[in-house]
Homo-oligomer: A and B are copies of this chain.
Amino acid sequence: MRRSAVDAQHTRDTIIAKAAAIASVDGLEGVTIGRLAADLAMSKSGVLGHFGTKEGLQLAAIDRVIADFRAKVVEPALTRDRGLPRLTALCDHWFDYLADTGLPGGCLLTAAAVEFDTRTGEVHDTVAELWNDWRRLLRAELKHTGLDVDQCLFELMALGPAVNQAIQLHGDRKAPERAKRAARTVLLVKA
């Protein structure tokens, strides 16, 4: 009875997954309706009908990846005690995520931060909000440590993009381990 609605949802999921994969390699602007339709053996209007506009599709792809990031990085760390234990867990999960995002081009959220940092629009706003949320999360935990909050925040925030670049551009597979060690130095925690 509701088979067609289920099918539509499945099609939508498939489109989003493919869009995120393309965006991780070629950027969110590199996601085109025509290419997506061809890759999925659909018509362009069949693709676009699920999202209305290209921007709607970009936002859907970002939202999907943000949900995945929250599930893999943020949620598991919230079981840890506030302050240093939670901070080290957040960082460790972050660096592990960057090494294994499930997308062919690495971390879409890290790439989107650079791609949209000086643009305007909803995509920029969503990306900026995501990273502001992440900063606020780390900042709130840093306040429990007695450390220099702003300086430590800057130094921890640096490690994610560094892991991404070390892996994607330099092929350094040890990057997550180096970042974990660096985070412990910042937080004055013994490895």
Contact = CB atoms under 8 A, between A and B. Distances in A.
Interface residues of A, number: 44
A187 to B, nearest CB: 13
A178 B165 contact: no
Contacts of A165: 113-114, 117, 131, 157, 161
A150 interface: yes
Number of copies: 2
B179 A154 contact: yes
Interface string A156-171: 0111011011101110
A58 interface: no
B118 A115 contact: no
Contacts of A25: 118-119
Interface string A89-119: 0000000000000001110001101110111
A27 interface: yes
A81 interface: no
A178 B154 contact: yes
B182 A158 contact: yes
Given A117-B168, A118-B24, A182 B155 contact: yes
